[in-house]
Amino acid sequence: MKINSRTTLIAGTSLQGYLPEGTTYHQIVNVLGEPLDGGWDGKTKAQWTIEFHDGTVATIYDYKQESRPKEWVTEWHIGGNSRQAVDMVLDLFEEGPGGANNDFTAPEYEVDEAGMTRDDYREPCGPGNYWE
């Protein structure tokens, strides 16, 4: 298996599914290592590419999460050429080092480069209520 190889052909891949809701950047890094930089179009800040032994190609990326630091994103897309890419990525996270069910979450009040905390990026949706 190749992870983040510059020789993996990802052209033509598209959204096939998602990592489980709430999966953190730190959990992905624990399984796959540090990400590549975001995409050429500026719509992603972090991206991983995976080429499995059978040739299946998958990508994991944070699509249109510009208002948040990548370390606080909890909605991750899985791209590929087929649904098999999703199944293989999910299997990898269940079996990988530490798996995605570990406790590698970002500190709740960590401050980013702009001096903002995670709560500063939440959008209000009513009196006292927030959604992400």
Contacts of 78 (CB under 8 A, 6+ apart): 15, 16, 17, 18, 19, 58, 59, 60, 85, 86, 89
Please count the structural domains in the chain: 1
Q: Is 6 helix (H, G, I), strand (E, B) or coil?
A: coil
| Torsion sign across C-alpha atoms 117, 122, 66, 107 | positive
**Model confidence pLDDT, tens digit, residues 21-35:** 888 888 999 888 999
Q: What is the per-residue pLDDT for 16?
A: 95
Q: Which two tokens stand for residue 34?
A: 């540090």
**Model confidence pLDDT, tens digit, residues 40-71:** 677 878 899 999 999 999 999 998 877 777 88
Q: Which domain holds residue 56?
A: 2-131
Over 90: is that where the pLDDT of 116 sits?
no
- Flag whether the pTM goes above 0.75: no
Query: Under a CB-based contact definition with an 8 Å cutoff, are residues 63 and 78 in contact?
Result: no
Over 70: is that where the pLDDT of 109 sits?
no
Q: What confidence category does residue 117 fall into, taking pLDDT thresholds of 50, 70 and 90?
A: low
Amino acid type, 44:
T
**Model confidence pLDDT, tens digit, residues 73-97:** 889 999 999 999 999 999 988 865 5
Query: Under a CB-based contact definition with an 8 Å cutoff, are residues 40 and 26 in contact?
Result: no
Could you tell me which residues are beta bridge partners of residue 50? 3, 58
CA-CA distance, 68 to 13, in Å (whole number)? 25
